[in-house]
């Protein structure tokens, strides 16, 4: 048996029927031109009849709340679902299905993951390849979303002729989360202790500097997020909306305005959110604040991840798209400067101290009027190489995330080849017609494409 970590415990304790704690991903595949009509049926038979056994953590079941233990009665039929949409359903029918599934808790008496293979999806247009999908659902206490996506990618091939790849649940994983990957490995205990002690002075100095500068115009504290429609209590009802965009569109806008591609992504999301909230007569006077994971790496000289999180001013109070983009660029740059002279250990400890209360407040709702951010917007690095499953090409990979009371919307996008695959997860009872957001994202990237730089 393995003891659950404190983070594992937290995700299990936070889970309720209206607040399930699983992450998910939707993978869209295109059948090869030579595929037989029973291609998907053959794939199902191949996977279910395989002799591979699940590896850690996919063979683990909860025991007495505090432990993971191997499931001696593992049954693939509980986890593997073969679904056919009625009468060649389109994207709307597919979204309806996975939205329902995303709102359902999983059975804690079994390993906490599901694999839905969905066929009967109509082609995008006449003459386009036939499609099927995989909806993968994993509890956050077992594996985080990025680690799950990496495992799924490893179960695919870069060669269209490869067959009989191992399913993701039979692959071993070194890290179950981004945090695992940043922690020191194979170091003497005293070295780790000295490193941690060495963070105290610079972290304290940076926190004090932030306190002194809290009244400056561009400074964002953990108390600045306004009340908004996005921050209501949630129900179990979910709406998932997904859309692919050409990455070069965002890169071209970034070059035109001398900003980063990530700045443009945030600005486009900000414009879409501003328009959505205006349509609901619910745009706050103060700008929305996004919690944004970022990379702090300056070059390729060091190993490991250089990750942190920034509170970012989205400039939604600005009617001008250029003004919003400038606000976002300034906010991101200010946050990066704060971390530029810190080691990874210092960044982790600084983030834990400054954002820790926000996580506790989000979990407990102790002070609902005081919140650090309005939503999470995350841009996940991906694979630039085409991937295949038994010859079927992976056309897109769309993340679906966790929602909390007070956080009714999440925007996560995955990079795959030359595309940005947006996955929007929302509580449909709190945010009516939120599936419009993908159309609004298209509208606002087009607006930047048609706007002249000053």
| CA–CA separation, 99 and 213 (whole Å) | 43
Q: Identify the CA nearest to 177 among candidates 307, 327, 17, 64.
A: 307
Q: Return the percentage of the chain with pLDDT > 90, whole number.
A: 57
Q: Identify the CA nearest to 354 among candidates 366, 341, 367, 338.
A: 338
CB 106 within 8 A of CB 22: yes
DSSP run (H or E) holding 238: strand 238-246
Condensed to tens digits (0 to 9), the pLDDT of residues 98-141 reads 999 999 999 999 999 999 999 999 998 888 999 999 999 999 98
Q: Identify the CA nearest to 170 among candidates 149, 150, 155, 148.
A: 155
The token pair at 363 is 């979990």
Total-model pTM? 0.88
Query: Is the predicted pLDDT of residue 84 greater than 90, yes or no?
Result: yes
Query: Is the predicted pLDDT of residue 163 greater than 90, yes or no?
Result: no
| CA–CA separation, 1 and 177 (whole Å) | 20
| CA–CA separation, 220 and 314 (whole Å) | 11
Active site residues: 140
Residues 6 or more apart whose Cβ sits within 8 Å of residue 140: 11, 21, 22, 23, 402
Q: What is the DSSP letter of 268?
A: H
Q: Identify the CA nearest to 120 among candidates 79, 160, 82, 77.
A: 82
**3-state secondary structure labels for all residues of 10-29:** HHHHHCECCECCEEEEEEEE
Residues 6 or more apart whose Cβ sits within 8 Å of residue 197: none
3-state secondary structure (DSSP) of residue 422: strand
| CA–CA separation, 5 and 341 (whole Å) | 31
According to DSSP, the residues that pair with 138 across neighbouring strands are: 23, 113
Q: Where in the chain is the domain with CATH 3.30.559.30?
A: 186-382+402-449
Residue 126's alpha-carbon distances to 18, 123, 249, in angstroms, are: 40, 7, 26
Q: Considering the domain delimited by 2-178, tell me its CATH architecture.
A: 2-Layer Sandwich (3.30)
Query: Is the predicted pLDDT of residue 337 greater than 90, yes or no?
Result: no
More confident: 227 or 217 = 227
Residues 6 or more apart whose Cβ sits within 8 Å of residue 333: none
Beta strands of 257-347 (E only): which ranges? Answer: 289-295, 307-313
Query: Is the predicted pLDDT of residue 341 greater than 60, yes or no?
Result: yes
CA distance between the termini of the chain? 62
Q: Identify the CA nearest to 133 among candidates 381, 395, 380, 386.
A: 395
The token pair at 389 is 């499953």
Say what the pLDDT of residue 182 is: 42
Say what the pLDDT of residue 184 is: 46
Condensed to tens digits (0 to 9), the pLDDT of residues 144-162 reads 777 777 888 888 999 999 9
Least confident of 104-108, 296-300, 397-401: 296-300
Q: Identify the CA nearest to 111 among candidates 147, 80, 89.
A: 80
Say what the pLDDT of residue 18 is: 95
Q: What is the largest CA-CA distance in the chain?
A: 67
So what CATH class is 186-382+402-449? Answer: alpha beta
Residue 260's alpha-carbon distances to 251, 268, 384, 401, 422, in angstroms, are: 8, 13, 19, 25, 18
């Amino acid at each position: 048996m393995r003891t659950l970590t404190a983070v594992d415990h937290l995700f299990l304790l936070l889970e309720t029927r209206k607040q399930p704690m699983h992450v998910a991903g939707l993978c869209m595949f295109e059948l090869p031109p030579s595929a037989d009509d029973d291609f998907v049926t053959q794939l199902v038979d191949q996977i279910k009849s395989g002799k591979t056994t699940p590896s850690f953590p996919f063979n683990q079941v909860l025991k007495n709340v505090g432990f993971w233990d191997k499931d001696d009665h593992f049954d693939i039929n509980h986890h593997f679902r073969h679904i056919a949409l009625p009468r060649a359903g389109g994207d709307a029918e597919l979204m309806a299905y996975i939205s329902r599934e995303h709102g359902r808790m999983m059975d804690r008496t079994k390993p906490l993951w599901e694999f839905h293979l969905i066929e009967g999806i109509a082609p995008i247009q006449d003459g386009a390849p036939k499609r099927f999908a995989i909806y993968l659902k994993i509890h956050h206490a077992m594996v985080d979303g990025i680690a799950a996506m990496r495992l799924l990618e490893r179960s695919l091939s870069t060669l269209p002729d490869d067959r009989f790849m191992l399913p993701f649940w039979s692959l071993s994983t070194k890290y179950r989360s981004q945090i695992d990957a940043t922690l020191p490995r194979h170091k003497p205990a005293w070295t780790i202790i000295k490193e941690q002690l060495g963070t105290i002075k610079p972290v304290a100095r940076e926190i004090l500097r932030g306190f002194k500068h809290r009244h400056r115009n561009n400074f964002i504290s953990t108390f600045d997020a306004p009340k908004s429609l996005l921050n209501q209590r949630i129900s179990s009802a979910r709406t998932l909306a997904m859309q692919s965009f050409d990455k070069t569109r965002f890169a071209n806008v970034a070059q035109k305005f001398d900003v980063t591609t990530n700045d443009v992504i945030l600005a486009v999301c900000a414009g879409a959110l501003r328009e959505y909230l205006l349509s609901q007569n619910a745009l706050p006077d103060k700008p929305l604040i996004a919690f944004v994971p970022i990379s702090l790496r300056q070059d390729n000289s060091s190993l490991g991840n250089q990750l942190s999180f920034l509170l970012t001013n989205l400039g939604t109070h600005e009617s001008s798209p250029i003004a919003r983009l400038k606000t976002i660029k300034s906010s991101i740059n200010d946050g990066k400067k704060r971390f530029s002279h810190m080691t990874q250990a210092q960044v982790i400890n600084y983030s834990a101290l400054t954002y820790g209360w926000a996580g506790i407040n989000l979990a407990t709702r102790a002070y609902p009027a005081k919140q650090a951010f309005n939503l999470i917007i995350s841009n996940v690095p991906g694979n630039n190489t085409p991937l295949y499953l038994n010859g079927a090409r992976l056309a897109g990979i769309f993340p679906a995330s966790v929602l909390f009371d007070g956080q009714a919307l999440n925007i996560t996008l995955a990079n795959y080849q030359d595309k940005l695959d947006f996955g929007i997860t929302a509580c449909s009872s709190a945010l009516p017609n939120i599936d419009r957001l993908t159309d609004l994202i298209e509208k606002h990237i087009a607006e930047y494409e048609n706007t002249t730089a000053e």
